[in-house]
Structure 1
Amino acid sequence: MRLKNIRTFFNKELEGLYPQTEIDTFFFFLIEEYLGFQRIDLTMKPGFEITKEKKELFHEAIIRLKNEEPIQYILGYTEFYGLPFKVNTNTLIPRPETEELVEWILSEADKDSNVTILDIGTGTGCIPITLAEYLPEATVSAIDVSEEALKIANKNATLNNVSVDFIKKDILKTDELKEYDIIVSNPPYVRNLEKIEIKNNVLENEPHLALFVEDDNPLIFYNKIADLAKKSLTKKGLLFFEINQYLGKETVDMLKEKGFKNIELRKDLFGNDRMIKASL
């Protein structure tokens, strides 16, 4: 089968399931991964013969896409803040909103000092690894309750040639932390009542442990982390959160009640309340 034919077949099989622009993007990702081709090669090499082995890879990808599996899991990797990250079903797929949180932290941190940073609920390790990459003098640590997620995070640190101290720990059962200049967390914050807003490709594939909290206690992780931060942040230390867009006011009020100052709530690129910075 030729390249132009596999593309026609790919489009036909996914037509109606995804917007055409998304189908095109999927195909571009797959030809790069499976063939080492760029988009221009679709025009320059339409008659390129696809081997039986490669054809089977495309067919398998189509089946998985029909089942609404994220393209990142099919490829086994994604990009975050310009860096490559391995992903699997034990980790959330890093989001653009989290890149904005990282950008905020980088703008506040002193790039030339040995700042100490802790990321809580690290998943793929995208936050601490990116911070370690762009703050080379920093000492960066990260916590997660999932051993499988930490395996991926460690692989990602090696992949990006940075040093991060990954620690297996249940933050809800933690009584104290070491001293840090910056504590950041993107913890589970989606309430069960909000599941109806979640697309199937997320709901049916990404780890619920890293996504959902009970409706009657949606700030459980924020409360715990804020309490720990009060005891472990340095004098000029900063706390950063990625938050539930519907609970911005509640999260700010909680931090005020605990004595945090200079609380700033920011919107993401979609105009949703998404991140908070606070200090003591």
Structure 2
Amino acid sequence: MSEAGNGVRLGDVWREACQRIDRLDARLLIEHVCGCTRTDLIAHPERLLTPEQAQRLAELLARREAGEPLAYLTGSAWFYDREFAVTPDVLIPRPDTEVLVDQALERTQKLSVPRIVDLGTGSGIVAIMLAKLCPQASVTAVDISPASLAVARANAARHGVDVRFLEGDWYAPLGDERFDLIVSNPPYVVDGDPHLQLNGLPFEPQHALTDGVAGGDGLACIRILIDGAPAHLRPGGWLLIEHGYDQAVKVRELLRARGFAGVDSWRDGADIERVSGGHL
């Protein structure tokens, strides 16, 4: 991108970008910066970038080369076939979490006005999708991070749903409120896990990935959720928790030990036990 500002052609930028990063990522970055389409790349390679576009694209290509996730560069990611704003203050949505929404929706079908709380909401994707797909529900979302809540509120406005957002640590902001359904995608990666250095994870908020307990099993936050749930669930209410690929057995044990019934686990699109839960 050494010609930035000197009339760089779209086709030249496209070829150089494809040599430096993944071809799809290159196309999406160019479309994001230049406001063009895939058809434009093919049909109008002679189109000139503005100096500002060339400079911005050069910066984003360098950041992508360094491993920064595409979602942070474009400011958005897709979940449940809908686009959500993301920043480095929140985790990037992943398809794994869709099973959490699916199972939650299944448990709201027989309730006229279900009360739902999403603990550790991050970008708000779970709470927002539940409010969107179960419009009769009363949905609350909690997060300890003001920056995360700002992103979640913006996403709720973007998708036109009414979600109550509260700042605080897990159950702390809820007082003595009780709900029909508690859902959460908490930090569950074991502190120091080598996977934390792969696939762009070093750029994501570490406090949202790991509980930070050195030498732990990654279940510290899950234990808090399970131990505190009975005080905040209505009779028959459900707790659903997303967890790691190898944690289902232990999470089921913790649920049963706390007196939950109907304990089970559900698999994500990769056939991995991704969500476990039970009811009072």
TM-score (norm 2): 0.90
Deviation of residue 47 (structure 1)?
Answer: 2.1
Which blocks of at least 5 consecutive residues in structure 2 are unaligned? 1-7
**2:258 aligned partner:** 258
**1:207 aligned partner:** 205
Other structure's SS at 1:191 match = coil
**2:15 aligned partner:** 8
Other structure's SS at 1:28 match = helix
Contact kept, 8 Å, 1:175 with 1:228, in 2: the verdict is no
Instruction: Measure the CA separation in 2 of the matches of 1:238 and 1:167.
Output: 21
What are the residue-to-residue correspondences of 1:38-117 with 2, within 5 Å?
Answer: 38-110=37-109, 113-117=112-116
Deviation of residue 260 (structure 1)?
Answer: 0.5
Deviation of residue 237 (structure 1)?
Answer: 1.4
What are the residue-to-residue correspondences of 1:21-40 with 2, within 5 Å?
Answer: 23-40=22-39
Which blocks of at least 5 consecutive residues in structure 1 are unaligned? 15-22
**1:152 aligned partner:** 151
Contact kept, 8 Å, 2:99 with 2:266, in 1: the verdict is no
Contact kept, 8 Å, 1:132 with 1:164, in 2: the verdict is yes
Amino acid at match of 2:264: E
Instruction: Measure the CA separation in 2 of the matches of 1:201 and 1:177.
Output: 40
Question: In the superposition, relative to structure 1, how do residues 111 and 255 fare at CA in structure 2: closer, same or farther (>3 Å)?
Answer: closer
Question: In the superposition, relative to structure 1, how do residues 259 and 117 fare at CA in structure 2: closer, same or farther (>3 Å)?
Answer: same
Instruction: Measure the CA separation in 1 of the matches of 2:264 and 2:91.
Output: 26
Other structure's SS at 2:140 match = strand
Q: Deviations over 1:100-134 (max 9, x none)?
A: 22122223322872111000000001110111111
Pairing 1:279–2:279 present? yes
Other structure's SS at 2:200 match = helix
TM-score (norm 1): 0.90
Contact kept, 8 Å, 1:111 with 1:135, in 2: the verdict is no
Amino acid at match of 2:271: G
Work out the percentage of aligned pairs sharing the same amino acid. 31
Contact kept, 8 Å, 1:119 with 1:128, in 2: the verdict is yes
The CA RMSD over aligned residues, in Å, is 1.9
Contact kept, 8 Å, 1:83 with 1:130, in 2: the verdict is no
Instruction: Measure the CA separation in 1 of the matches of 2:19 and 2:225.
Output: 49
Other structure's SS at 2:270 match = coil
